[in-house]
Structure 1
Amino acid sequence: MRIIAFIFFLIAPMLVFAQDPENDSFAPPPGEYIASAWIKDNVSAQTTDYSGFIRISTVPPSSSGPVVIAQAEEASIIDGWVRVIGRFTIPEGVTSFSLELVPSATGSYFDDVRVLPFNGSMKSFVYDPLTQRLMAELDENNYATFYEYDNEGGLIRVKKETERGVYTVQETRSSSSKTSN
């Protein structure tokens, strides 16, 4: 049960991060980084071999060439999605880097794409655009905790995504007693 929060990646699959001296825009300093994402290939039957991947290139080019972040040999597949995670280095003298989401031959969906320093941590939150309720919280390992609500807005279920699948960790039932006059 993934929530596709980064729809724009399906339209513009390459992001370029560069230093703009006039605007002092975002550019990561040299060092070790982690890139991760969830990928689902556009196939009718669930597969265990995903061919979508992330490619990271630098300008000027790194002596080792682009870094490819793909499915690990023993990656867990959760509801048809596989988490890819990898480490890469931005060397001294790099003026920009690009992160390219490369789909499989049948097409791929990419979700929860992250780039962060190797020794950093990140949490993300997904809110329902109509009700403003918290729908999901993504932890430091890019696994989600999903929140489900009843029609009155009360929390009824909390599910946690793990390497072994999605599990219900809390479920609440409530009712109002009806009195007859």
Structure 2
Amino acid sequence: MEAILEKVNNLTQQQDVTGQEIQRLLSNYRKDSVARKTREYLTTRLEQLENLWTAFSERNEELEELAHYLPAHPYFEKQYFSSMQREYTKYKDDIAERLQGLEGASKLNIDLGKSATGALDTKAARAVNNAQNELPSDVVVLIRQQQSRLRAVENIISGIDTVEQAQPK
């Protein structure tokens, strides 16, 4: 029984180290500016995360095989694996979304030239709409929200208060 306890303690210690590495990656990722999060950066972070997660998962499988000997061990009671899995999933999903956004942006590699009045040219607007038809719906929603915000900023810059216009007099 002592050999099993020693093995579980050794494995959980390794899990702690790997878990801290995953947390460090997540913390640094959150701190990094959006401008720094290029395709290469995101791909590298995703590879690092996957390597750490593979080691973490494999050790967890070993620990699960020993769980019935020590069900009261803190690793199992605190559900450390489940906790880390949530962090891993959240981090991985965020990276995947950003990568998808970058790929979507490269599909939209269109000159969105402005007319003399500052409004989007109709030709450019049609090109954006055509490109959006090829994108996933969640990306299209984000692009439309961004377009709406840009129009609001253009209106503010040109001195038009959209709130006053919308209210009946």
TM-score by length of 2: 0.24
Question: Which structure is higher in RCO with an 8 Å CA cutoff and minimum separation 6?
Answer: 1
User: Quick check: which one's strand share is greater?
Assistant: 1
Point out the structure with max Rg over C-alpha: 2
More helix by share: 2
